[in-house]
Amino acid sequence: MRTHRKPPPPDKRTWEAHSTYTADLGVPDRCRYRRTPPGSPTVADLVQPGDTIATSYNTGGVGIEVKEYFYAAPTGEKPPHFAIVYVPPDRAANTAIPISIGSTSALPSETASLKLFEGNTDEVFTVDRVPRAEALPSRTILIS
């Protein structure tokens, strides 16, 4: 005797790209990107080489470089995003890991950065800042 069963319900999850990497792999991109408000500092303004950073997913280290990239969205626009290259404190100095960042948040402390895709809730925080070098006055010595 044959048993007739109902087919299983279709998967209700809607998968969407959370990064430029997953979008490039073919995961649907809803084309919803975060933007840094006009006049606000960018990620490159907030994170300088030497700053200690931490992420909401428990990684971090010392930032060694901040690079700006442009994502070629399916809509034709090219929203900017940044990669913070950092070295974890427990690894050799020649091991660097990039983090892709889309915009800065509107937090008053100006220390958090968010991912480019709105579907991604990861954050990057500047934990400790390296003192910025002030321009030293030039010194001249008169030799007579």
List the chain domain ranges.
48-128
**pLDDT per 10-residue tile (average), the chain, 144 residues:** 67 74 84 82 84 86 86 87 82 63 48 75 83 67 70
pLDDT at 24: 84
| Reported pTM | 0.67
pLDDT at 16: 83
pLDDT at 101: 64
Residue pair 84/47 in contact (Cβ under 8 Å)? The answer is: yes
Cα–Cα distance measured from residue 127 to residue 55, given in angstroms and rounded to the nearest whole number: 10
Query: Side-chain half-sphere of 42: how many Cα atoms within 13 Å?
Result: 14
